[in-house]
């Protein structure tokens, strides 16, 4: 609000982000000196009490008392300077996270509203439940029952914060909260419901940071907890009796496998590989059938490779998900396994689960060890001067480059596991494992277009290597290039050389298309970066003058960045925005518009081409992901966290990966760590014609490939047929009119994003 309006509309707006608060100097709040000092005392006292006794967790009602004080302050007046002082105090308290409030506004009528506590997460029209929610879902009933029971259970037995809490208690708690298949990160649930049911609950574990805390830290996160329990188990790990070794395969690189294999060799025993199918986890992460099918195909490939090394790979389906840790231990008992190895998965539930496995293993005289593996630089290794995690990619990447250059081991790839001794085939209990059947599909996740997906995305390490070779060296592979190359102009050189342009051109096959393999852990990010570095004469970054190789490496690094983000700010795994202030943006939900977006019938050719490509192939070019995501969020004003955006991509993308997908959506929605500023809104018409850096689809070849209704058009009409053609010619196309007016939608988005909470 401008300063000149001060007297007309008294409005006080507290930003959770101090940077924004400073920008907001012009918003005003009148308060008398007495009340200011009283409020100050209240804040300081409450903060101190809260700090000491964690009051905010026990007596949430005090927040409302504070709001009432603030409301009374509203009518009083005082000069701007003191006003700023008050704001600083409130902001500081909020930043410390001690007040557990995301932000609050006293609106024009003087009524305080505490976002998240008073306001619903999604506002605006909602005709009915979203189609995804109302779709027949095999797990639905189970989930909703679990939801009810978990809620009443958590209400009855809300765990108290106890400094002395034992690991045993933690294990029990894990079971209780995970007794709900529809857990934490499932985007279909409302924010509050997820928080209530989520294992990432502020009452769940001692020392766990408040999920709404602003600052971000690696300390006290679920990863920190896992590392601590592993540290405690180090002695047991060394002392573990001789026995077989379990390699719990999560399909993510093979560092852990290398160690498992070495451990078995040193004990003169055998390695057994296990893959767990956990439908409860798939559901909680909104995994789609394509991705599950791809995973099973990769497991099969791996199984045949391991068989040649006398290593049996078996698959067990474990449900409900809460029983995974126990079942792993029972499996170990059955096959005389004393050591368990696996790679770390960075989502909250998975970290919690693994901490419980470490604990249960210890209790039963075994040892479990989890290894950083699926990204290059482990979370927690890159910190700012203040010892905080980075929230902006630029400086983070600079540090990433420095760290990788200084630590050669970070790019070291693992050795293949050594073969088991032949005797394993005659072992009474182990020989039958080689004969066990592996299921080809998972119930409830049958892939309707499995055959086509298998052609486009062949499974296995060798297929991944082929894609890498095609991209870096221009080697021809078996893959169906034409479906990804709509433009007739075919490059003779390797795509990497043209990458700075190719990464913006959905009409050319100019990127590696390695994402499904990296996401599934079929190929290691270390291997791909190492190879690119070698071809770039040993250099990772050109210090600002990037060529194709260094540019590409910097893109691969985004995977690491987003994994670091979900570890340091676990709330993003719970369907929360990183920038909490943006959670109060008023959303819309028009069923027909959402349907049109999903099906590629929005009347915006580039959006439709991209959405149709994803439905057809399981892949979408990065630029198009940004355009379509931003269209949903800014043009249709749909809450991407709720059921539609993020979840829909997870369902359809072959490379669906929680961290990267969430990061991409947060970026596009201007709610993320390193967000697109809210006022920069892509124009979907001009984006295809010309983007900021280059032409995305200059000849419209991509549009023609995926939107055949527009095949006969050229020039500007192809990118914006509704406005560039006369009515009769447009009608003949059989193509829909734009479902929203971009200019109007843009104004609405600017207004709502500028002042979250305003209609």
Q: Could you give the residue numbers annotated as active site?
A: 555, 558, 587, 622, 640, 665
Q: Which of 293, 655, 674, 689 binds ligand FAD (CB under 6 A)?
A: 655
Identity of the residue, 105 or 563, whose beta carbon is nearer to ligand FAD in the bound complex: 563
Stretch that binds ligand FAD, among 76-84, 144-152, 400-408, 509-517 (CB under 6 A): 509-517
Expressed in percent and rounded to 5, the helix, strand and coil fractions of the chain are 50, 5, 40
Q: What is the dihedral of CA 539, 540, 546, 547, to 10 degrees?
A: 70
**Beta pairing partners, 383:** 389
Helix count and strand count (H, E) for the chain: 34, 8
With b meaning 16 or more CB within 10 Å and e meaning fewer, what string describes 126-164? eeeebebeeeeeebeebbeebbeebeebbeeeebebeee
Residue 564 touching ligand FAD (CB under 6 A): no
Q: Which of 653, 707, 710, 718 binds ligand FAD (CB under 6 A)?
A: 653
Per-residue x/- track, 534-563, ligand FAD (CB under 6 A): ---------------------xx-xx--x-
List CB contacts of 643: < 8 A, sequence separation 6 or more. 130, 132, 133, 187, 188
Three-class secondary structure assignment of 19-87: HHHHHHHHCCCCCCHHHHHHHHHHHHHHHHHHHHHCHHHHCCCHHHHHHHHHHHHHHCCCCHHHHHHHH
Count of residues for the chain?
A: 759
Q: Annotate 194-215 with DSSP letters as a single string.
A: HHHHSSS-TTSSTTPPPTT-SS
Per-residue x/- track, 388-407, ligand FAD (CB under 6 A): --------------------
Q: Which of 198, 211, 570, 664 binds ligand FAD (CB under 6 A)?
A: 664
Stretch that binds ligand FAD, among 224-232, 255-263, 512-520, 677-685 (CB under 6 A): 512-520
Identity of the residue, 306 or 556, whose beta carbon is nearer to ligand FAD in the bound complex: 556
**Beta pairing partners, 369:** 341
Q: What is the rounded distance in angstroms from the CA atom of residue 570 to the CA atom of residue 51?
A: 21
445 is in an annotated binding site: no
**Which tokens in the block code for residue 613?**
């490509």
CA distances from 481 to 52, 457, 467, 484, 501 (A): 62, 11, 10, 6, 18
Stretch that binds ligand FAD, among 119-127, 137-145, 357-365, 655-663 (CB under 6 A): 655-663
Question: Least distance in Å: CB of 677 to ligand FAD?
Answer: 16
Question: Least distance in Å: CB of 208 to ligand FAD?
Answer: 27
Spatial contact of 407 and 298, defined as CB atoms under 8 Å apart: no
Smallest Cα–Cα separation from 347: which of 393, 384, 303, 379?
379
Stretch that binds ligand FAD, among 8-16, 186-194, 368-376, 618-626 (CB under 6 A): 618-626
560 is in an annotated binding site: yes
695 is in an annotated binding site: no
Smallest Cα–Cα separation from 296: which of 522, 103, 117?
522
Question: Least distance in Å: CB of 488 to ligand FAD?
Answer: 20
Identity of the residue, 195 or 657, whose beta carbon is nearer to ligand FAD in the bound complex: 657
Q: Which of 147, 310, 319, 512 binds ligand FAD (CB under 6 A)?
A: 512
Question: Least distance in Å: CB of 193 to ligand FAD?
Answer: 24
Give me Rg for the CA atoms of the chain: 27
Identity of the residue, 36 or 630, whose beta carbon is nearer to ligand FAD in the bound complex: 630
Q: What is the rounded distance in angstroms from the CA atom of residue 702 to the CA atom of residue 620?
A: 12
Q: 3-class SS at 252?
A: coil
Question: Least distance in Å: CB of 397 to ligand FAD?
Answer: 12
Q: Taking each helix axis from N to C terminus, what angle separates 548-568 and 525-535, rounded to the nearest 10 degrees?
A: 150
Write down the H helix ranges in 489-634: 499-502, 515-519, 525-535, 548-568, 591-599, 605-617, 622-630
Stretch that binds ligand FAD, among 146-154, 175-183, 269-277, 662-670 (CB under 6 A): 662-670
Residue 503 touching ligand FAD (CB under 6 A): yes
Q: What is the rounded distance in angstroms from the CA atom of residue 252 to the CA atom of residue 154?
A: 34
Q: Which of 625, 641, 705, 719 binds ligand FAD (CB under 6 A)?
A: 625
CA angle 655, 660, 663 (to 5 degrees): 145
Closest residue to ligand FAD: CB criterion: 664
**Which tokens in the block code for residue 342?**
């696996």
Residue 669 touching ligand FAD (CB under 6 A): no
**Which tokens in the block code for residue 412?**
């070291």
With b meaning 16 or more CB within 10 Å and e meaning fewer, what string describes 727-756? eeebeebebbebbbebeebbebbeebbebb
Spatial contact of 214 and 95, defined as CB atoms under 8 Å apart: yes
Question: Least distance in Å: CB of 754 to ligand FAD?
Answer: 23
Question: Least distance in Å: CB of 237 to ligand FAD?
Answer: 32
Question: Least distance in Å: CB of 467 to ligand FAD?
Answer: 8
Identity of the residue, 542 or 622, whose beta carbon is nearer to ligand FAD in the bound complex: 622
Residue 668 touching ligand FAD (CB under 6 A): yes
Q: Which of 201, 269, 511, 524 binds ligand FAD (CB under 6 A)?
A: 511
Spatial contact of 208 and 667, defined as CB atoms under 8 Å apart: no
**Which tokens in the block code for residue 441?**
């599909």
Tell me, by CB under 6 A, how many residues bind ligand FAD.
28
Identity of the residue, 472 or 717, whose beta carbon is nearer to ligand FAD in the bound complex: 472
Smallest Cα–Cα separation from 102: which of 90, 86, 110, 85?
90
Residue 694 touching ligand FAD (CB under 6 A): no
Residue 649 touching ligand FAD (CB under 6 A): yes
Question: Least distance in Å: CB of 377 to ligand FAD?
Answer: 14
Please state whether the peptide bond connecting residue 381 to the residue before it is cis, i.e. omega within 30 degrees of 0. no
Residue 27 touching ligand FAD (CB under 6 A): no
Identity of the residue, 182 or 661, whose beta carbon is nearer to ligand FAD in the bound complex: 661
Per-residue x/- track, 570-609, ligand FAD (CB under 6 A): ----------------------------------------
> DSSP letter at 347?
S
Residue 505 touching ligand FAD (CB under 6 A): no
Spatial contact of 601 and 588, defined as CB atoms under 8 Å apart: no
Question: Least distance in Å: CB of 696 to ligand FAD?
Answer: 13
Q: What is the rounded distance in angstroms from the CA atom of residue 400 to the CA atom of residue 381?
A: 9
Stretch that binds ligand FAD, among 43-51, 75-83, 93-101, 513-521 (CB under 6 A): 513-521
Question: Least distance in Å: CB of 570 to ligand FAD?
Answer: 18
Residue with tokens 């994994």: 563
Residue 224 touching ligand FAD (CB under 6 A): no
Identity of the residue, 371 or 496, whose beta carbon is nearer to ligand FAD in the bound complex: 496
657 is in an annotated binding site: yes
Identity of the residue, 11 or 515, whose beta carbon is nearer to ligand FAD in the bound complex: 515
Q: Which of 486, 660, 671, 696 binds ligand FAD (CB under 6 A)?
A: 660
84 is in an annotated binding site: no
**Which tokens in the block code for residue 68?**
């009432």
512 is in an annotated binding site: yes
Question: Binding-site residues, please?
Answer: 499, 511-515, 552, 555-562, 655-657
Please give the residue ranges that form the binding site for ligand FAD (CB under 6 A): 503, 511-515, 518-519, 555-556, 558-559, 562, 622, 625-626, 629, 649, 653, 655-657, 660-661, 663-665, 668
Question: Binding-site residues for FAD, please?
Answer: 499, 511-515, 552, 555-562, 655-657
């Amino acid at each position: 609000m401008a300063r000149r309006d001060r007297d007309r509309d008294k409005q006080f707006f507290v930003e959770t982000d101090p940077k924004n608060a400073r920008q907001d100097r012009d918003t005003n709040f009148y308060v008398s000196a007495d009340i200011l000092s009283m409020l100050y005392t209240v804040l300081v006292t409450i903060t101190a009490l809260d700090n000491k006794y964690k009051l905010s967790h026990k007596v949430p009602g005090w927040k409302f008392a504070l709001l009432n004080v603030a409301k009374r302050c509203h009518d009083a007046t005082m000069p701007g300077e003191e006003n700023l002082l008050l704001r600083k105090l409130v902001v500081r308290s909020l930043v410390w996270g001690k007040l557990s409030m995301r932000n609050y506004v006293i609106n024009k009528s003087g009524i305080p509203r505490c976002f998240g506590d008073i306001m619903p997460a999604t506002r605006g029209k909602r005709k009915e439940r979203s189609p995804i929610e109302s779709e027949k879902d095999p797990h639905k009933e189970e989930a909703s029952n679990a939801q009810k029971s978990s809620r009443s259970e958590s209400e009855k037995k809300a765990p108290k914060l106890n400094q002395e809490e034992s690991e045993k208690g933690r294990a029990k708690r894990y079971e209780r909260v995970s007794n709900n298949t529809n857990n934490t990160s499932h985007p279909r649930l409302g924010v509050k419901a997820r928080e209530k049911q989520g294992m990432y609950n502020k009452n769940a574990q001692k020392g766990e940071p408040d999920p709404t805390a602003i600052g971000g830290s690696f300390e006290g996160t679920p990863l920190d907890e896992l590392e601590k329990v592993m540290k405690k188990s180090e002695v047991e790990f060394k002392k573990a009796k001789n026995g077989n070794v379990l390699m719990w395969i999560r399909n993510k690189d093979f560092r852990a496998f290398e160690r498992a294999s070495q451990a078995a060799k040193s004990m003169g025993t055998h390695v057994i590989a296990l893959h767990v199918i956990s439908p409860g986890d798939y559901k909680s992460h909104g995994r789609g059938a394509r991705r599950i099918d791809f995973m099973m195909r990769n497991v099969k490939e791996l199984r045949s490779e391991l068989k040649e090394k006398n290593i049996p790979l078996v698959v067990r389906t474990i449900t409900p998900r809460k029983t995974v840790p126990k079942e792993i231990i029972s499996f170990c008992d059955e096959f005389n396994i004393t050591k368990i190895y696996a790679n770390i998965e960075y989502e909250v539930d998975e970290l919690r689960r693994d901490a419980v496995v470490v604990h249960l293993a210890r209790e039963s005289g075994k040892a479990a060890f989890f290894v950083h593996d699926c990204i290059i630089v482990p979370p927690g290794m890159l910190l700012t001067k203040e010892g905080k995690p980075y929230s902006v990619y630029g400086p983070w990447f600079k540090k990433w480059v420095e760290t990788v250059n200084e630590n050669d081991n970070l790019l070291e790839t693992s050795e293949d596991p050594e073969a088991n001794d032949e005797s394993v085939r005659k072992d009474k209990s182990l020989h039958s494992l080689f004969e066990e059947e592996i299921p080809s599909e998972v119930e409830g996740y049958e892939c309707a277009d499995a055959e086509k997906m298998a052609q486009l995305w062949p499974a296995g390490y060798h297929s991944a290597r082929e894609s890498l070779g095609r991209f870096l060296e221009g080697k021809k592979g078996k893959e169906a290039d034409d479906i990804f190359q709509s433009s007739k102009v075919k490059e003779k050189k390797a795509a990497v050389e043209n990458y700075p342009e190719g990464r913006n051109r959905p009409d050319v096959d100019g990127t590696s298309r390695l994402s499904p393999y990296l996401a599934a852990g079929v190929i290691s990010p270390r291997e791909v970066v190492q190879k690119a570095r070698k071809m770039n004469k040993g250099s990772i970054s050109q210090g600002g003058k990037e060529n194709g190789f260094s540019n590409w490496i910097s893109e691969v690094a985004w995977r690491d960045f987003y994994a670091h983000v979900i570890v340091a700010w676990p709330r993003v795994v719970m369907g929360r925005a990183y920038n909490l202030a943006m959670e109060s943006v008023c959303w819309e939900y028009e069923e027909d518009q959402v349907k049109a977006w999903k099906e590629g019938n929005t009347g915006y050719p580039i959006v439709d081409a991209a959405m149709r490509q994803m439905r057809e192939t399981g892949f979408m070019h990065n630029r198009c992901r940004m355009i379509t995501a931003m269209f949903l969020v800014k043009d249709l004003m749909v809450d991407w966290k709720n059921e539609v955006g993020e979840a829909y991509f997870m369902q359809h993308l072959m490379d669906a990966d929680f961290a990267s997908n969430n990061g991409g959506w947060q970026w596009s929605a201007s709610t993320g760590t390193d967000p697109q500023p809210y006022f920069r809104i892509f124009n979907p018409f001009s984006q295809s014609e010309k983007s900021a850096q280059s032409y995305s689809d200059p000849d419209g070849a991509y549009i023609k490939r995926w939107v055949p209704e527009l095949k006969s058009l050229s020039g500007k009409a192809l990118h914006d047929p509704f406005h560039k053609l006369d009515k009769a010619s447009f009608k003949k196309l059989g193509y829909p009119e734009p479902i929203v007016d971009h200019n109007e939608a843009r104004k609405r988005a600017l207004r709502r994003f500028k002042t979250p909470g305003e209609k």
